[in-house]
Amino acid sequence: MTPTLTRRASAEFTGTALLVAAVVGSGIAAARLSPTDIGLQLLENAIATALALGALILMFGPVSGAHFNPVVSAVDWWVGRHAGTGLTARDLAAYVPAQVTGAIAGAVLADLMFGLPAVTWSRTDRTGPNLWLAEIVATAGLVVLVFALARTGRTTAAPAAVGAYIGAAYWFTSSTSFANPAVTIGRTFTDTFAGIAPTSVPGFVAAQLAGGLVAIAALAAWYPHAGNAADAVVVPHPTRESETR
């Protein structure tokens, strides 16, 4: 990797790690602070996640775009490939492993911060057509949102808008809106409030990828020139041209 791509991949690793640490850590704290109230636990988890996501986009967006999500990165590559914008295939090959390993590191970090074993496989089964449908909806909505913001020049609103969407989707989707294959994989490494059993991962990831395809179709209908703004997803970040300067 070039120095610039290495820097961007490290930002994706760290940002995704901190995002998963926020998801898992706030789930552990919520379960301890409100042990008899599941609704309150979910509210605490959702608020902490939404606020952390917004802050992490502000922190890492100017470096890598703050994707933190293989579906966002894959769609960024796909819609930008003809316009010469967005991620290259080489970028994508660096971003996705960084996001997945970052997510795993974030779950381990959260467990250690709360005095738990570094790795305990989750036993929380999350499976069924209703949950898969929810993941399609959550992922498609997230991807369309970030591309709509980029295409219409409103990326300054991304931290608040993306955080708000994820916080709300905790509640309007039956799956509590994982909407991210890397985060899904990372959450298998913790048997806590936010965990998901490894056996449930294939269904969730397949649904998330399907959500990405739905988003591509929606963008073609609603924002046919979204690829022109792929360098600004989630927020403006180094372009192919700027790497060589």
Q: Degrees (nearest 5) of the Cα angle 168, 172, 177?
A: 70
The pLDDT confidence band at residue 47, using thresholds 50, 70 and 90, is very high
Over 50: is that where the pLDDT of 241 sits?
no
167: containing domain: 3-240
Question: What average pLDDT score do residues 28-34 get?
Answer: 97
Task: Give the CATH number for residue 174.
Answer: 1.20.1080.10
Q: Answer for the pair 111, 194: CB distance below 8 angstroms, yes or no.
A: no
Q: How far apart are CA 236 and CA 157, in angstroms?
A: 12
Per the structure, the count of domains in the chain is: 1
Q: 45, 215, 207: which is closest to 134 by C-alpha?
A: 207
Domain annotation covers residue 167: yes
Domain annotation covers residue 245: no
The reported pLDDT for the residue numbered 2 is: 67
The reported pLDDT for the residue numbered 3 is: 67
Amino acid identity of 87? L
Q: What is the largest CA-CA distance in the chain?
A: 57
Q: How far apart are CA 212 and CA 32, in angstroms?
A: 35
Per-residue pLDDT tens over the stretch 69-122: 999 999 999 999 988 999 999 999 999 999 999 999 999 999 999 999 999 999
Q: What is the dihedral of CA 88, 91, 96, 98, to 10 degrees?
A: -170
